[in-house]
Amino acid sequence: MLLFVGLGNPGDRYVGNRHNIGFMALEAIAKRHGIAPWRRRFQGVAVEGSLGGVKVQLLLPGTYMNESGRAVAEAVNFYKLGVNDVVVFHDELDLPPGKLRVKTGGGNAGHNGLRSISAHIGNDYRRVRFGIGHPGDKNLVERYVLQDFAKSERPWVEALCDAVADAAPLLAGAEDSSFQNKVHLAMDAKGFGALDDDKE
């Protein structure tokens, strides 16, 4: 079994925030593949289903972002998963808006959700990084990530979540580069620019 974790903050006031794109992506995957119903589990909400024949538990932590690791660790311990069975979907300031990268391990780039998860289960989990751009000044970062996506940004956010939902079985099958390429091609086809294929 794999554990797919979407990062975000719980509660209505955060739903449209840039910081919540991980939640948005997981909800799109569940909807696209008919995985339901969500139930209260692991200090959040979770649902179990299958992607491309691979059993997957989807988890949206109900802790706030900086405590995400508590929920993830509870699920990992319950299912006796290894750190390599965990895939975390999160916002990434260092990628331009609409870009996506998959990587294993690496630094947390000041992301409190990743820092919390790494503290609880180790660092070598897979990450699906959603570019949200950078406000240009590190002092503006906290306010920026907790703002809703602008109306003009919503089309690419929806297109990216849709593309990720379509390609999710590839990710479940550990075909990370195929997953990334399929998402890039879908974004290009929808008019959101060809994404380059360099690995970061």
- Model confidence, pTM: 0.94
- Determine what percent of the chain is predicted with pLDDT higher than 70: 96
Q: How far, rounded to the nearest angstrom, does the alpha carbon of residue 168 sit from its chain's CA centroid?
A: 11
Which residues belong to the active site? 19
Q: Which helix (H) or strand (E) holds 145?
A: helix 141-145
CA distance 83 to 10: 24
Over residues 90-96, the mean pLDDT reads 95
What was the pLDDT predicted at 110? 84
Over residues 1-24, the mean pLDDT reads 97
The pLDDT tens digits for 120-156 are 999 999 999 999 999 999 999 999 999 999 999 999 9
The pLDDT tens digits for 49-87 are 999 999 999 999 999 999 999 999 999 999 999 999 999
What was the pLDDT predicted at 20? 98
Per-chain mean pLDDT for the chain: 94
User: DSSP character for 102?
Assistant: E
What was the pLDDT predicted at 151? 96
Q: With 70 as the cut, is the pLDDT of residue 22 above it?
A: yes
Confidence band of 200 (pLDDT split at 50, 70, 90): very low
Q: With 70 as the cut, is the pLDDT of residue 191 above it?
A: yes
What was the pLDDT predicted at 193? 66
Q: Using alpha carbons only, what angle is made at residue 166 by residues 165 and 170, rounded to the nearest 5 degrees? A: 95
**165 touches 25 (CB < 8 A):** yes
What is the pairing mode between strands 54-61 and 39-41?
A: unpaired
CA distance 88 to 111: 12
- Going from the N-terminus, what domains does the chain have, and what CATH number goes with each? 2-189 (3.40.50.1470)
Q: With 50 as the cut, is the pLDDT of residue 176 above it?
A: yes
What was the pLDDT predicted at 117? 98
CA distance 98 to 41: 31
